[in-house]
Every structure is written in C-alpha cells, then in structure tokens.
Structure 1
Amino acid sequence: MSKSKTPFGTVTERLDKNRYETDVEQSHIQIDQKAAAATSAGPLLVRVCPAHVYSQQLDGTIGVLYAACLECGTCLAVAPPGVLSWHYPRGGKGIIFREG
C-alpha cells in the first residue's frame, strides 16, 4: 500500500465522493484586490488553499473559483485583516460531504 493510499482510498478518491451545489447567483468569497496587493496576501492564499480555489492572474489580481471551496477556513486563518470577505454559502449550497 502506498503512503498516499489509506484503507479508505486516496484523499482524491475520497474527495471525489463529495457533492458541490454551486450558488451561481452569489459567491461566498470576495477579495479586496487592493488590500491583497498591498499585503502580498495573494500568493499566500494561492499556496495554502487545499482546494486550489485561489489563483494568481496575469494582471496580478487573485482569481477565485468559489465553487471548489471545501469551506475549511484555511484562507481565513492566513489572510490579513481586510483582504478576504468569507461566509458560508447560502443554505443547501456549497460542499456536501459524503465521507469524513
């Protein structure tokens, strides 16, 4: 058995069992691009997000693929104050975990 595979499958296999109900009308993540640039928070968000929600755009801004968010709170823990506005998605939207 490889290190990345557990008796329950790999992390990727387990995450694939989850469902995502995207709220196409409202993102639950907003970035203040000026604050992100001033604090250099963008590259940090790109590095720490386990779901790869954040990406560095060619123009220097930070892109947000909110539909992929695992709602783990890692970005909230590392983002300087004022950079990120984050709340849970509206009821019935976001990630629906199928396996712990």
Structure 2
Amino acid sequence: MFAVIKIAGQQFKVQPGQSLYVPHLTGKSGDKVEFSDILLHDSEGKISVGKDAKVTVKAEIVNDLIKGEKVIAFKMKRRKGFRKKHGHRTQYTQIKVTDIA
C-alpha cells in the first residue's frame, strides 16, 4: 500500500511506517498532521488516481526543525568590482507516516 501526496508543491511517495523530510510545517514534535491532497493511491493492486483517491495520510512530526545544507549564491562581474554573496539553509520537518486511510 502506498500513496503519492502533494506537500508544499512537491510530490512524495509514502508508505505506512516511512520517515521522510518535507518542507517546513508548523507544529511541534509529537503533533499529528493529516494530508488530504492525494494524487495517487494503491491498495493491493487497486489504483485510484486524482479525485477518485479519497483517502487521507496521517503522520506524526518527529523533528520540527531541521536545517539543510548551506547553499551559497555568489555573483560577480569581472573588472567592475561588483561582488554579491548570498546564502541560505532550507528548513525541513521530519515526519513519520502512521496510516493511510
């Protein structure tokens, strides 16, 4: 049994008991979250797609804030003295899928 869900514009293939990192969600460790934007659902070989997939994915927040790798955006124009350095670390939330119902 698996489902393809949409979280913050990204698609994730999830199964019960799976742990994954998703874009930052509001909530604290131990909170329960539900995802109802299901794109595809497979239950014992029976596939439902789009609006036919009327299930919800229930998950629990394991870690509420995890920072990703540092990404540096550096711009420079030669012989002009122009240099711009900008960096960021993307924030993620670790969730564990408990049930697909």
TM over 0.5: no
**Higher relative contact order, structure no. (Cα contacts within 8 Å, ≥ 6 residues apart):** 1
Q: Which has the higher strand share?
A: 2
* TM-score bucket of the superposed structures, by smaller chain: under 0.3
- TM-score of the two chains, using structure 2 as the length reference: 0.25
- TM-score of the two chains, using structure 1 as the length reference: 0.25
Larger radius of gyration: 2
